[in-house]
Chains A and B, each alone.
Chain A
Amino acid sequence: AQSVTQLDSHVSVSEGTPVLLRCNYSSSYSPSLFWYVQHPNKGLQLLLKYTSAATLVKGINGFEAEFKKSETSFHLTKPSAHMSDAAEYFCVVSDRQGGSEKLVFGKGTKLTVNP
Chain B
Amino acid sequence: DGGITQSPKYLFRKEGQNVTLSCEQNLNHDAMYWYRQDPGQGLRLIYYSQIVNDFQKGDIAEGYSVSREKKESFPLTVTSAQKNPTAFYLCASSSQPTSGPYNEQFFGPGTRLTVL
Contacts and interface: CB of A to CB of B under 8 A. Distances in A.
Interface string A91-115: 0001000001111011110000000
A41 B107 contact: no
Most buried by B among A52, A90, A108: A108
A7 interface: no
Interface residues of A, number: 23
Contacts of A100: 48, 50, 56
B108 A43 contact: yes
B85 interface: no
B84 interface: no
Interface of A: 9, 32, 34, 36, 41-46, 49, 51-52, 90, 94, 100-103, 105-108
Given A90-B43, A105-B42, A105-B44, 13 more contacts: A36-B107, A41-B88, A41-B110, A42-B110, A44-B90, A44-B92, A44-B107, A46-B104, A100-B48, A101-B96, A101-B102, A102-B33, A103-B105
Interface of B: 4, 6, 33, 40-45, 48, 50, 56, 58, 88, 90, 92, 96, 100-102, 104-110, 112
